[in-house]
């Protein structure tokens, strides 16, 4: 007879442990629900209409609706005890108070695009405050400003601005389903960054709720906290309810182009050359690069397909002469270019076919169903030599990279004029471009996940010789827990948090810690990469 293996006991122990945990947390969340009902007051809508627990049939669909990385939507991913989808500020205040009282962590979600799922996953009992119902936008054309609620998505912002005027735009991201709550909190860049900087550079006021449940605006929160929320990363300082943004001027006609070149068409030389011109171009012009592996025209061979994607704030004729002057090697011709309005260019960059109705900007469902993904970022301060680029191509031929993309985002222009400490986002003068590494995969399971994540990590190690150093800088909106974390519960020491904090924020990290210590000394708002207060 075989002896009873101790491993046979494990499922039993786990079941026991789980039912115990469930019983305790069920108890907690009952109390939490009662607390909510008590504190929510009698605002416009009853709080019971915006509360979901696993007992509600729509709990899963509400949870999953805004999950943009299915890597964090598996049966073993921890789930919230309660989801609150406030339709009124008082309900956010109640959720904050009751979470404190019943020792639950809060995760705030706007668009759900966090690469590491921090807006909807936690390893301690938690509540999601999902701002999906707070998405109104009020555009004031006379003053060139707009109030935008945190649950709005970028597509709605662009749509509502264009509805009022075709000569205003806003310098934020290209993916229309990204939420402004997280996006503006971490910076937020798009095709207008060389002309106008990033979204956070163009915020003039905000409304937020702090740890004490107070409603604050710029004046009442003070300039330190207002500084911190514009680029210091969401979730550390409170719940942003709305932003007031400064609209920017766009001409009636803009021009876009996409030029594809593969290795047989001198792509290596072109990417190499691009590094010497991309940050020095006229600031009305941006040329982004995205590249991936593709089949070559030669049977059975692979190549690298490089796309040069561009927005020019003007007409074709001017663009052609600018390109002739600054980047003739690309061989841009009139037929590559299309003139359109700025709002149409947002559809173009989001990948919609020409002639698509602007209404698609209002949809919260992404154009392409999201796959599992892992993202990382880097900053490049000196051009990568051709031999370095060739090492990149080799890595793209590996099988894990079948659906990997490298995006190169040029800086210069307005980005170099803004000081490193103007807002927490520190990546300014000296950067030629930013790199986004992205690997996607469709295959389910931990093995596939590990294989692809390991590929992107090896690639990232390879790049160390070519990118910024001390610190090796990263973009907080391309959240990457590999670069360092707090504990899984969210607490940490200043020293431990500095490892990731200085990569995202450079020396602004210290001021962020200072602000955090002032406004949330007990570290209520926390996650694996939240700013710690000094006391903890």
Ligand X SMILES: *[C@@H]1O[C@H](CO)[C@@H](O)[C@H](O)[C@H]1NC(C)=O
Ligand Y SMILES: Cc1cc2nc3c(=O)[nH]c(=O)nc-3n(C[C@H](O)[C@H](O)[C@H](O)COP(=O)(O)OP(=O)(O)OC[C@H]3O[C@@H](n4cnc5c(N)ncnc54)[C@H](O)[C@@H]3O)c2cc1C
The single residue among 114, 210, 279, 400 that binds ligand Y, judged by CB under 6 A, is: 114
Question: Active-site residue 478, yes or no?
Answer: yes
Q: How far apart are CA 495 and CA 487, in angstroms?
A: 12
Can you tell me the distance from the alpha carbon of 376 to that of 353, in angstroms, rounded to the nearest whole number?
Answer: 28
Site string for ligand Y, 186-215 (x = CB under 6 A): xxxxx-------------------------
Q: Is 470 exposed, middle or buried (0-12, 13-18, 19+ CB in 10 A)?
A: exposed
For residue 383, the partner it binds in ligand X, ligand Y, none, with Cβ less than 5 to 8 A by kind, is none
Helix, strand and coil in the chain, % to nearest 5: 40, 20, 40
Closest CA to 114 of 178, 184, 59: 178
> How many angstroms separate the CA atoms of 426 and 231, rounded?
9
Q: Output 454 or 493, the one with its CB closest to ligand X.
A: 493
- Options 118, 206, 289, 408; binder of ligand Y; rule CB under 6 A: 118
Helix (H, G, I), strand (E, B) or coil at 343: helix
303 is an interface residue for ligand Y by CB under 6 A: no
Q: Considering the complex, what minimum distance in angstroms separates the CB of residue 327 from ligand X?
A: 14
Question: What is the smallest separation between the CB atom of 203 and ligand X, expressed in angstroms?
Answer: 16
Residue 248's H or E segment, with its range, is strand 248-249
**What is the pattern of x (binds ligand Y, CB under 6 A) and - over residues 452-491?**
-------------------------x--------------
Do 286 and 241 contact (CB within 8 A), yes or no? no
Decide if 426 contacts 511 (C-beta within 8 A): no
Q: Where does this chain bind ligand X (CB under 6 A)? A: 41-42, 48-49, 51-52, 55-56, 140, 142-143, 265-266, 295, 300, 487, 489, 491-493
Closest approach, Cβ 60 to ligand X, in A, equals 13
Residue 520 lies near ligand Y (rule: CB under 6 A) = no
| Exposed/middle/buried for residue 238 (C-beta within 10 Å: 0-12, 13-18, 19+) | buried
Q: CA torsion sign, 426 to 429 to 431 to 436? A: positive
Q: Considering CB distances under 5 to 8 angstroms, the limit depending on partner class, which of ligand X, ligand Y, none binds residue 51?
A: ligand X
Q: Which does 140 bind (CB under 5 to 8 A by kind): ligand X, ligand Y, none?
A: ligand X
Supply the minimum distance, in Å, between the C-beta of residue 110 and ligand Y: 3
Parallel, antiparallel or unpaired: strands 168-169 and 126-130: unpaired
Q: Smallest distance from the beta carbon of 378 to ligand Y, in angstroms?
A: 15
Query: 348, 478, 494, 504: which is the annotated catalytic residue?
Result: 478
493 binds, among ligand Y, ligand X, none (CB under 5 to 8 A by kind): ligand X
Q: Pick between residue 113 and residue 389 the one whose CB is nearest to ligand Y.
A: 113
SS3 category, 201 = helix
> Which two three-digit tokens encode residue 193?
């960054």
The dihedral region occupied by 208, where left means phi > 0, alpha psi between -120 and 50, and beta the remainder, is: beta
Q: Which residues are catalytic?
A: 478
Q: Which residues bind ligand Y (CB under 6 A)?
A: 68, 107-114, 118-119, 131, 150, 173-175, 178-179, 181-183, 185-190, 234-235, 239-240, 477
């Amino acid at each position: 007879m075989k002896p009873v293996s101790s491993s046979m006991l494990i499922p039993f122990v786990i079941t026991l442990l789980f039912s115990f945990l469930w019983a305790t947390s069920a108890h907690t969340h009952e109390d939490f629900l009662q607390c909510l009902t008590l504190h929510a007051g009698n605002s416009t809508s009853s709080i019971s209409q915006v509360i979901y627990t696993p007992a509600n049939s729509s709990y899963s669909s509400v949870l999953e609706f805004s999950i943009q990385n299915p890597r964090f939507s598996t049966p073993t991913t921890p789930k919230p005890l309660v989801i609150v989808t406030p339709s009124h500020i008082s309900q956010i205040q109640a959720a904050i108070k009751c979470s404190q009282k019943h020792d639950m962590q809060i995760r705030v979600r706007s668009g759900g695009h966090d690469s590491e799922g921090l807006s909807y996953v936690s390893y301690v009992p938690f509540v999601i405050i999902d701002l999906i119902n707070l998405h109104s936008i009020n555009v004031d054309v006379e003053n060139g400003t707009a109030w935008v609620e945190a649950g709005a998505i970028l597509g709605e912002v662009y749509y509502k601005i264009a509805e009022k005027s075709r000569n205003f735009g806003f310098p934020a991201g290209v993916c229309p389903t990204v939420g402004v709550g997280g996006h503006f909190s971490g910076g937020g860049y798009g095709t207008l960054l060389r002309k106008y900087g990033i979204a956070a550079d163009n915020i003039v006021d905000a409304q937020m709720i702090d740890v004490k449940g107070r409603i604050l605006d710029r004046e009442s929160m003070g300039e330190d906290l207002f500084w911190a929320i514009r680029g210091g990363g969401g979730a550390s300082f409170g719940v942003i309810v709305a932003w007031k943004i400064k609209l920017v001027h766009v001409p009636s006609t803009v021009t876009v182009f996409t030029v594809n070149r593969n290795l047989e068409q001198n792509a290596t030389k072109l990417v190499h050359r691009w590094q010497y011109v991309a940050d020095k171009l006229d600031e009305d012009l941006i040329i982004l690069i995205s590249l991936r592996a593709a089949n070559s025209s030669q049977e059975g061979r692979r190549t690298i397909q490089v796309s040069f994607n561009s927005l020019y704030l003007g007409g074709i004729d001017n663009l052609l002469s600018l390109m002739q002057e600054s980047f003739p090697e690309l061989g841009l011709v009139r037929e590559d270019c299309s003139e359109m309005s700025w709002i149409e260019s947002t559809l173009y960059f989001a990948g919609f076919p020409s002639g698509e109705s602007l209404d698609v900007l209002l949809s919260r469902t992404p154009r392409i169903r999201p796959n599992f993904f892992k993202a990382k970022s880097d900053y490049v301060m000196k051009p990568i030599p051709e031999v370095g680029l060739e090492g990149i191509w080799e890595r793209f031929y590996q099988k894990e990279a079948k659906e990997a993309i490298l995006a190169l985002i040029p800086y210069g222009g307005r980005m170099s004029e803004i000081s490193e400490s103007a807002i927490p986002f520190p990546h300014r003068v000296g950067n030629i471009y930013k790199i986004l590494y992205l690997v996607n995969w469709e295959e389910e399971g931990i093995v596939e996940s590990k294989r692809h994540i390991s590929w992107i990590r090896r690639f990232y190690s390879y790049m160390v010789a070519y990118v910024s150093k001390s610190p090796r800088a990263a973009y907080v909106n391309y959240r990457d827990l590999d670069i360092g974390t707090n504990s899984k519960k969210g607490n940490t020491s200043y020293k431990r948090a500095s490892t990731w904090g200085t990569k995202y924020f450079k020396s602004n990290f210290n001021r962020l810690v200072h602000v955090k210590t002032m406004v949330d000394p007990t570290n209520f708002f926390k996650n694996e990469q939240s700013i710690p207060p000094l006391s903890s």
